[in-house]
Structure 1
């Protein structure tokens, strides 16, 4: 080691000397220990102050520190209104994305405060994002809860050997400080817990998540509510058919895991959807009027909140115009450089105010935010029109799902193969339970199979009626085929073939076929057809179809035999075939 001399307040040291190096090492170790003790004391003081709820840290938008140092709601009405509206929309929709979509549709903005730099403390208005909504819903400060230790730094070593630090959320049970009712909030602690449950249910990839509670746009109304009674897993939705228009409720968890070779159950969605819809109508009959009044009140409160946001936005723009005008009036007119800049700012503020007023007018013209007397009457008529509202084409599948989730917690499905039925155990939000039975459709082969009584009826009719008359008789009685269509001749023939119903011969004993008459007179069958066409012989067909049956007496037979024997155009044919 090089002989380097080091100096401090106590003396000088030679780094190459053993004794001096030992002293330097001891001093470094003691200094490092002292830093550790100082850091521990500082962290302890910080924690003690947090346990008393006095530790100050940057607050989320909508909260601020008052003159007494306590946390209070933001004095800005527009800021408070935006935060309250976001929480209200989340309670209505149950989805963070739905809140973002509603803010965008209504043309509303959301605030944030800048920390640090030249813009420190300034309020900035902009578009509401999905991350902002999640941060809003997950922050317990909005519920009046003082929390410390929600996040902590973790270190990890990458594959390249680098040490990276990252922030990791801490489970609620491990929060170091949790003081409820510490300050005024926008929601109650119960609402905060309910919102966390909604977010957890909306996850589709969470561990331990049995059901997904987010209402989506699919046609299957019970998506996320059904539980398999066999394995306890959640039923999924699968679409089939041309364009995927026919949803199925399917439980294939055991088959996917290799525990079974077939699915637990699979059934068409409309069977269960219709049954649950009727059960909901039955359960809501005593309380429908109260629901109608509540719905009307919610609509009016939401509309007033949206309009209030627009009014406060206009008031803020008017204040900025007045402030720019006052600054321009207080400026020295001789200082043209400053006066010109202030004049441009004044003009920009007036243009911004005019743009906001135009947007507000367009928004009010597009949507009627105040319920008219006719709309109030329609909502109050919900007591009688709830089924019609449910089935209306203007009611989307997503709205129907949201209605169901307000009433139903989950539904356990048991399939009874012996009776072709499904037993639905409905667990309502109030923990009450209801059981209903749904008849399942027959398999395709059984559905196409005719009942034994109908087959016997066709068998009896075939004894004295031809197929065409059987078709007319069945259609006249209003009977339908297995596919729900009117009977045709081909259908009756297929029934004969499928159930081995023999064709009854309606030929009279004294009648001959074309082949029989041709053999008896030793002529070609074409000659017989010629006689039938020229009406030399009397022949008939059953219902105008099928073979010819010829009525021939002894006199007529002798006449034809003489005709053939004396004719120069006809030649007798000799055959040993016996007909």
Structure 2
């Protein structure tokens, strides 16, 4: 070994570190000879005069790349011990294996120079205090880094070339298997689970709804890496996995490479971390449609991408949610321009509200006309406008517009088709005029033919672009069926709040709360998808509709007895405000609370039993007993009330009954007699 004379007594008194490293676990497993040679450097240190107790082997970095020192604990330990002056020499097969990064290698060399530490490899002993040794090690470090770059460039080039042909083997997502070519997983349970993810998303349009659909169902996944690599396991379907499945073009039968590029990020503490980003589809280096069988078509994949983009609320999207607020996400404050938010009640007796978003923004104060509104009148006004717009006259106008658009589309397409036919005819005619025998004429005609071919290509491209940008128009029968049933569909109990919001947003683009000085009114601006606008004015607190129980009591309470009225309420399925069946007591409370008319009142010449008892100064039970025995005439009303015809003769007869009775004791009367009360 060259340069042994550089080893002094001071170096021998310090610890010698033997650094052992392999870049990958595969190298550790397959290149055992290289690992053994590195461990044998401990014997080389003994041969250089160091006792075994002053030799330490650092092998914590086995299986780690030398591109960065961020995760290499062994390298960091060497730097720390060299900085403390504990190390006399560092041994390795090659000095450049200490670090593949010039920055890390130069930092170690500078610390070794200041602490008087030697670097020893198979080529010799390097003293960092010697400028020649420093130059040589610096050159080796640069060559090592360049070698790593060249190797990486060759590998990346080969990978890109294979990927461009679709031959680069990538990790297959769950639901696929490889037997020389990419095929659907033969396990029917695995394939059915993947298919159900796309079916559920197509039905609901929400990744969270897909997770809910799999709440009581397991979902497959494969283990990547380790001793169980490739093993099929089952677990819970998470929201992140649903998003990754929907975003993966492999499920649409496409081969894609370069979707998620990796890069390096410098942290504030100086450490470097590898990060993975996402490229937009137009920047993917390789995209090969119809590469293998897919679970969905490419059109369905693009439709799913559109739905996912419409669900990204972080980027300003306002998808229909499950709440009852109808215009949630599309309502805007017309005073300050901020989106209005929705506040759902915590208590049942509270109401849903729309409030201006600037109330939570310290940088954008509210204007004097910013408001907090109850959601019910706003939603009712917008829904009424929507359903009223779809009248027979409007439907006929819409269908006529559809017919006109269809005819206009057909005319424009037909014109482009005729242009293509004309260009093709002219190109064929120019070709037929070329005669190879006459070269001079052929050159001119060939130039004319090429011009005709260029015109034909332009016409065909124009026709293709026209067809691509034309919207797909629905059939007239489908429109008629949909519009005729819109009112039934809107009020159907099976129609959810989210379905109503989707239906609303197909026609209405947004709703704006316009400034209104009268706080008892709400002024709304509705913008339709066609660009047309409407202005609505609705009261802030509209009168509440009369409950069904109040309506029944108002209609039948004056002719039916209380018991029969209670039976009628319960038979109609009407309940109290707390959801309980009606009783006589709750029915009478409802009647009193809403000031409903009582059962039939006495006639002008009649009084009630209670009034008669009060006039006579006796207990009402005595009057009822006289009526039951036929001693006192009375009229029995349909609701069970007893009305007594009252005059001086009747009053005298009652006093005679009182005088003849030994059980009735008259009390002083506080009502003057002499007629009906």
TM-score (norm 2): 0.44
Say if 1:245 and 1:20 are closer, same or farther in 2 by CA, change over 3 A.
Answer: closer
Say if 1:22 and 1:424 are closer, same or farther in 2 by CA, change over 3 A.
Answer: closer
Partner residue in 1 for 2:321: 215
Please state if 1:271 is matched with 2:409. Answer: no
Partner residue in 1 for 2:143: 30
Partner residue in 2 for 1:400: 500
C-alpha displacement of 1:101: 0.8
Segments of structure 2 that go 5 or more residues without pairing to the other structure are 8-47, 49-90, 95-120, 396-480, 545-592, 597-669
Distance 1:177 1:11 in 2: 45
Partner residue in 2 for 1:552: none
Partner residue in 1 for 2:657: none
Say if 1:266 and 1:243 are closer, same or farther in 2 by CA, change over 3 A.
Answer: same
Say if 1:168 and 1:486 are closer, same or farther in 2 by CA, change over 3 A.
Answer: same
Counterpart pick for 1:249 among 347, 350, 354: 354
Partner residue in 1 for 2:514: 415
Instruction: Say whether the 8 Å CA contact 2:331–2:513 is kept in structure 1.
Output: no
Partner residue in 2 for 1:189: 298
Please state if 1:238 is matched with 2:347. Answer: no
Q: Secondary structure at the match of 2:523?
A: strand
C-alpha displacement of 1:441: 1.0
CA deviations 1:224-277 (Å, max 9, x no partner) are 232445555432112469646312223343883335433545433222322343
CA deviations 1:94-128 (Å, max 9, x no partner) are 21111111122xx4332222334444333323322
Counterpart pick for 2:203 among 88, 92, 97: 92
C-alpha displacement of 1:84: 1.9
Say if 1:65 and 1:31 are closer, same or farther in 2 by CA, change over 3 A.
Answer: same
Q: Secondary structure at the match of 1:169?
A: coil
Please state if 1:124 is matched with 2:233. Answer: yes
Partner residue in 2 for 1:61: 174
Say if 1:282 and 1:35 are closer, same or farther in 2 by CA, change over 3 A.
Answer: same
Distance 1:148 1:20 in 2: 45
Say if 1:280 and 1:89 are closer, same or farther in 2 by CA, change over 3 A.
Answer: farther
Partner residue in 2 for 1:425: 526
Instruction: Say whether the 8 Å CA contact 1:145–1:182 is kept in structure 2.
Output: yes
Say if 1:160 and 1:262 are closer, same or farther in 2 by CA, change over 3 A.
Answer: same
C-alpha displacement of 1:88: 1.6
Q: Secondary structure at the match of 1:187?
A: coil
Say if 1:227 and 1:176 are closer, same or farther in 2 by CA, change over 3 A.
Answer: farther
Distance 2:390 2:179 in 1: 48
Say if 1:486 and 1:416 are closer, same or farther in 2 by CA, change over 3 A.
Answer: farther
C-alpha displacement of 1:409: 6.2
Say if 1:80 and 1:251 are closer, same or farther in 2 by CA, change over 3 A.
Answer: same
CA deviations 1:33-76 (Å, max 9, x no partner) are 12211211211221222233222110111233343x3x333333
Partner residue in 2 for 1:79: 190
Q: Secondary structure at the match of 1:193?
A: helix
Where relative contact order (Cα < 8 A, 6+ residues apart) is larger, the structure is: 1
Mapping of residues 285-304 of structure 1, within 5 Å: none
Say if 1:28 and 1:281 are closer, same or farther in 2 by CA, change over 3 A.
Answer: same
Partner residue in 2 for 1:3: 6
Say if 1:383 and 1:177 are closer, same or farther in 2 by CA, change over 3 A.
Answer: closer
Partner residue in 2 for 1:493: none
Distance 1:178 1:265 in 2: 51
Instruction: Say whether the 8 Å CA contact 1:198–1:213 is kept in structure 2.
Output: no
Distance 1:242 1:21 in 2: 77
Partner residue in 2 for 1:321: none
Instruction: Say whether the 8 Å CA contact 2:331–2:511 is kept in structure 1.
Output: yes
Distance 1:19 1:194 in 2: 66
TM-score (norm 1): 0.50
Distance 1:126 1:233 in 2: 43
Please state if 1:49 is matched with 2:162. Answer: yes
Q: CA RMSD in A?
A: 4.4
Say if 1:266 and 1:19 are closer, same or farther in 2 by CA, change over 3 A.
Answer: closer
Q: Secondary structure at the match of 2:139?
A: helix
Question: How many aligned positions are there?
Answer: 350
Please state if 1:176 is matched with 2:289. Answer: no
Instruction: Say whether the 8 Å CA contact 1:112–1:125 is kept in structure 2.
Output: yes
Please state if 1:108 is matched with 2:217. Answer: yes
Please state if 1:15 is matched with 2:126. Answer: yes
CA deviations 1:314-337 (Å, max 9, x no partner) are xxxxxxxxxxxxxxxxxxxxxxxx
Q: Secondary structure at the match of 1:155?
A: strand
